[in-house]
Amino acid sequence: MKICFCLHNHQPAGNFDHVMDSAYTHCYLPMLEVLENHHGISAGIHVSGTLLEWLAHNHPEYIERTAELCRKGRIELLTSGRYEPVLTIFRRLDIVQQIRDFSDFLAELSGRRPEGLWLTERVWEPQLPSLLRDAGVSWAVVDDIHLKRAGASGMDLFRPCITEDSGSTLRLLGSNRELRYRIPFSPVESVMEKLREMHDAGADMVFYGDDGEKFGVWPGTHELCYEDHWLDRFFSEVESADWLDPELPSEVARIEAAGPFYVPASGYTELGEWTLHGRQRDEYDELKEKLEADGKSIAAEVFLSGGFWRNFLSIYPESKELHGRILSAEALVRESQSTEALHHFWRSQCNCAFWHGVFGGIYLPHLREAVWKELHRAEWKALGAVHAHPLVLAADIDADGNDEYVIVSQTQSLMIHPCKGLTVSELSFLHQDGEPVPLGHVLSRQVEGYHKSIPGTGSSKEARTIHDDLSAKEDGLSGKVSIDRWRRMCFSDLVMPSSLHMKSWKQSDRDITHFQRPALSSSTSSGDSAVAFLGEFVEGKLRIKKSMSADLKIPLINTVSEYSIRPFDRAGMEICLNLMTGQSSERQYRIDSGERQFMSVEGEYRGRRIEVLDCWRKVKAVLEMNRETDVWVMPLDSVNMSESGYERVHQGTAFYVSGNADGEGNYDLEIDLRMEAFDDT
């Protein structure tokens, strides 16, 4: 029986260097050493562009050793979108170009042009066969569940399967689920018994494709795989089994194929579950449990595919906004003909910050910052190449039926939402050299299905899959869950009864009215020095006249709100900023000339000026009000899941600048938000 191993090694764009170093030391290097020592083992390896570039910079000897194994025919490299994008959500020509570009790079490195593709997160849609053939790909890795959902069964699952789109055929290698869940978590003897069982049943080939991080990064797996020598012992058993014949994936892809089969839009099982939220997820779990109780667990997995990956773009508006901004920037980047801009643009598509499953994903601020910075760098390079500063673009970025305004000058990058109460979500300062500092990219907190089952603290050093039960990283974490009723952005108008206080604001009280909605009337005008917006917003008997001006020369936004509300009620604007962490002496705020406070420190103040200082990224944001106001401050901490457990993550800090209306219900507030370079050394 032919056996084929295929491993996928990836680290997100913007991941911390110490995390990358740890993964290299505990996983990628020892894995390579084991492969070098077992001359009878052949394998396919996919190394994402983000990781490959990091390795080339930090460990070039690893690249050379990998290339040597390729030259010897011991391993072959798989291609993909260059920086691990989900292929189906970006424009076809862009994806084809970056696959071809990455394949060219891998061919130069290894001496062999890749024939096969590692499918990012195994997100499949039916148009992929023709796209991938246009990109020079002849086969791709999927999970066997993809093939089962297409109707493949029996021995068809132990050979390549053909699929087709618009007359273009593509071969699919389906990774065997039983092996994925056993390797390396079951004893070597157990895995060999399962392989023998497949052989005796008449299988001609079995394909195993999975994350390389299972062999050293996942909890307890470094000790298991290398200190206890699991991987070494397993490869020795495979080499000594005369009934097993290890082959490269391109060789097994040429075996007589089954099909054609037409795979529906889907991903791996857990991914489909993670795309379901709220009642949908509850109903899915209930139905799955009923089928499993009736002994139909296999049918449940095949026919209950869960949700659709693109639903992450609707679950998390921050994800859709980034996606829309990337699409809006493509024409400019291509017009510039700048290779540097194009690679920054492609890096911004790295999938990890777009979604959330068992990994932190979109909840990790440093991953969100990384892809936004890549997008800003791409636009900076492209605008400079075509001499097009400033960019003022009206487009439906978030696909809600209304236009947003993207403004990119030489000093700031903004996205303004006229139909969401004249709010600002994207807010980035651009240093003189174009280095971007995202400040307004706050993630709003929402209900996650796992919030109702957060466990207590505790940890285990035993090797386990990331799908096993996880522990909480601090006591009382379930009591720290907060849910936002409105999106946390800049310049959100909030009105509340005079009886409510800061605690009500912290809890997103139902009696607070927000105005993130379309205007009753609005207008926009653009000149050489600024873009100006006017809007009138109404909710019941509450009315706001609001103006906003975004400067095209300097990093300044001026906003004025005139409130007509109930007498003595509170009104004002909420400004939410993300400085990446709340517990650093290098990220602080102060009111007027008061003491500096960590961004995680909540408080109630009176003042006319707020300074937010980021010494690490060398930027200062200053808010100046036209009058003395109440200033309420609270950290925005999410409670979310990552592969290491349930944790609290700082998503930003909210400042509510407000006051009470007079006896006729009138109140006005003007805020200037200015950003500037700052060095406190």
**Does the pLDDT at position 598 exceed 80?**
yes
pLDDT of residue 467: 54
Cα–Cα distance for residue pair 641/648, rounded to 1 Å: 9
- Which tens digit of pLDDT belongs to each residue from 137-186? 999 999 999 999 999 999 999 999 999 999 999 999 999 999 999 999 99
Buried b (16+ CB within 10 A) or exposed e, 653-679: bbbbbbbebeeebebebebbbbbeebe
pLDDT of residue 455: 87
Cα–Cα distance for residue pair 678/681, rounded to 1 Å: 9
List the one residue out of 327, 323, 329 whose CA is nearest residue 310: 323
Residue 353 lies in a domain: no
Cα–Cα distance for residue pair 158/144, rounded to 1 Å: 9
Confidence band of 346 (pLDDT split at 50, 70, 90): very high
**Average confidence (pLDDT) over 528-546:** 97
Residue 464 lies in a domain: no
CATH number for the domain harbouring residue 638: 2.70.98.10
Confidence band of 465 (pLDDT split at 50, 70, 90): low
List the one residue out of 590, 658, 669 whose CA is nearest residue 630: 658
Q: Among the three residues 267, 284, 315, which one is the final residue of a domain in this structure?
A: 267
Confidence band of 464 (pLDDT split at 50, 70, 90): low
Q: Among the three residues 246, 267, 288, which one is the final residue of a domain in this structure?
A: 267
Pick the range with the lowest mean pLDDT from 138-147, 160-169, 286-295, 461-470.
Answer: 461-470
Do 88 and 230 have their domain in common?
A: yes
For tokens 């507030």, what's the residue? 669
- Cβ-based neighbours of 484, under 8 Å, separated by 6 or more: 444, 445, 446, 508, 636
pLDDT of residue 405: 98
List the one residue out of 189, 209, 231, 198 whose CA is nearest residue 147: 209
Residue 507 lies in a domain: yes
Buried b (16+ CB within 10 A) or exposed e, 375-400: bbbbbbbbbebeeeebbebeeebbeb
- Which tens digit of pLDDT belongs to each residue from 68-103? 999 999 999 999 999 999 999 999 999 999 999 999
**Average confidence (pLDDT) over 242-258:** 97
Indicate the average pLDDT of the chain: 96
Confidence band of 681 (pLDDT split at 50, 70, 90): low
pLDDT of residue 460: 55
- Which tens digit of pLDDT belongs to each residue from 397-406? 999 999 999 9
CATH number for the domain harbouring residue 58: 3.20.110.20
**Does the pLDDT at position 515 exceed 80?**
yes
Collapsing DSSP to helix, strand or coil, 647 comes out as strand
- Which tens digit of pLDDT belongs to each residue from 412-442? 999 999 999 999 999 999 999 999 999 999 9
Residue 284 lies in a domain: no
- Which tens digit of pLDDT belongs to each residue from 103-123? 999 999 999 999 999 999 999
**Does the pLDDT at position 326 exceed 60?**
yes
Cα–Cα distance for residue pair 591/204, rounded to 1 Å: 72
Residue 354 lies in a domain: no
This prediction's pTM: 0.95
HSE-CB of 56 using CA atoms within 13 angstroms: 11
Q: Which amino acid appears at position 574 of this protein?
A: E
pLDDT of residue 644: 81
Residue 367 lies in a domain: no
Do 514 and 656 have their domain in common?
A: yes
**Average confidence (pLDDT) over 306-330:** 97
Reading the block at residue 557, the tokens are 């936004």
pLDDT of residue 468: 59
Residue 368 lies in a domain: no
Q: Among the three residues 209, 237, 267, which one is the final residue of a domain in this structure?
A: 267
List the one residue out of 494, 525, 409, 473 whose CA is nearest residue 644: 473
Reading the block at residue 510, the tokens are 């139902």
Residue-number span of the structural domain to which 62 is assigned: 2-267
Number of domains in the chain: 2
Cα–Cα distance for residue pair 210/200, rounded to 1 Å: 24
Do 503 and 638 have their domain in common?
A: yes
Reading the block at residue 112, the tokens are 């062999």
pLDDT of residue 463: 60
Residue 324 lies in a domain: no
List the one residue out of 356, 238, 368 whose CA is nearest residue 641: 356
Confidence band of 461 (pLDDT split at 50, 70, 90): low
Cα–Cα distance for residue pair 367/356, rounded to 1 Å: 12
**Does the pLDDT at position 459 exceed 60?**
no
